Structure 1
Amino acid sequence: MKKDIVIPKVEGVYVAVVNEYNTVYKTQDWNAYIINDKKVDLDVVIIVTNGYSDDKITSTFRKKIDTLPAKSFAKIELIQEELFALNNQFKVTFFEGNAMFDKTYLFRKNTINLNALQAIPLMDVKGVLVK
C-alpha cells in the first residue's frame, strides 16, 4: 500500500535564513523564512523545525500558514546563533491544488554564517538558502 502513495517532488519552495537588522531592539537577528517562488498559492503550509546533533536536541517548533501566495515569502522564526552549531531542519508540508507535498530542508551545523550569504529569491536580501 505504501508504494501506492505518491508525494510529488517539491520545486520552487525554499527555506532561507537571513541576517537582518531589528529596528525594535536595534540588533542584528537571524530569521528563517519560507519562500514560495511558484506561480500558484500554497495552502495549509505546516512547518515543523528543530535542531539536533549527536548529543543534543532542541524543542520542536510548529507553525501553520493558511495560504502562502504565489511569489511571496513568510517569516518562520527567529534563530539564536547558538543553534548554528547544530543541524537545523525544517520539515515543510503543504497542498498545491489537491496534491500534498512534503520536503525536509536541512541546514547542516555551522553552515549558517556571514561568509555563506548569497542572494535570496524574491526577498532582495542576502542569506543562507536551502532548495
Structure 2
Amino acid sequence: MIKDLPENNVKDIAIAVALERESVESKIWYVYLINLKNEPIENVLITSKGYGEKNGEQVKTSVLRHMIPVVDSKGYKLIEPIDEQTFGLNNEYWLSYYIGSNIYDKKFIFLPESIVEMNFIKLPVLNKPGVMIL
C-alpha cells in the first residue's frame, strides 16, 4: 500500500538560522522558512524541538507547532526565535506543506554545534548571515 503512494520530494525549500542583530552583550537569532520555488507553498505546518545531551544529561525542549497559510514564491516566513543555549543540541524542524492537492514533508536537523560562524553563508532571499539546510 505505501509503495503506491507518490514520492513527493521536497526541493528548493530551506530552513535557515539567521543572525538578526548582535551587540557586545548578546546575539539575536531567528529561524526562517525560505521558499526558493517559482510557486507558492500553502498550508505549511512546522513542528520544532531540540534534543540531545548537555552536561552529561539528556535534554529535550518543548515541541512547538507553527502554521503558515502561504509562503510566496521566492519568499520567506519567520518560524521562531532561537536561543543560543540550544545550539549544542539537535534542533529539528519537521515541515509539511501543499502545492495544489499534493502534500510534501521533510525533516531538517541542525546538528549540535553546526550553527557557528565558520558555517555562515549569506542566506538567499533574506540577505542575512546564517546557516541553512536545503
TM-score (norm 2): 0.90
* Residue-by-residue CA offset, 1:11-61 (whole Å, 9 max, x unaligned): 010000001128xxx953111000001011100000000011151111101
Match of 1:98 in 2: 101
Answering whether residue 64 of structure 2 is matched by residue 65 of structure 1, we say no
Distance in 2, matches of 1:57 and 1:101, equals 26
Match of 1:31 in 2: 30
Distance in 1, matches of 2:60 and 2:21, equals 28
Q: Runs of 4+ in structure 1 displaced over 3 angstroms?
A: none
Distance in 1, matches of 2:26 and 2:50, equals 23
- Contact 1:91 1:104 survives alignment (8 Å): yes
5+ residue gaps, structure 1, are none
Q: Which amino acid aligns with 2:11?
A: E
How many residues are aligned here?
A: 128
Match of 1:15 in 2: 15
Percent identity over the alignment is 29
Q: Cα RMSD between the aligned structures? A: 1.5
Please state whether the residue corresponding to 1:64 is helix, strand or coil.
strand
Q: CA deviation at 1:3?
A: 1.7
5+ residue gaps, structure 2, are none
* Residue-by-residue CA offset, 1:98-129 (whole Å, 9 max, x unaligned): 11000001100010122221121111111000
Q: Which amino acid aligns with 1:38?
A: K
Match of 1:117 in 2: 120
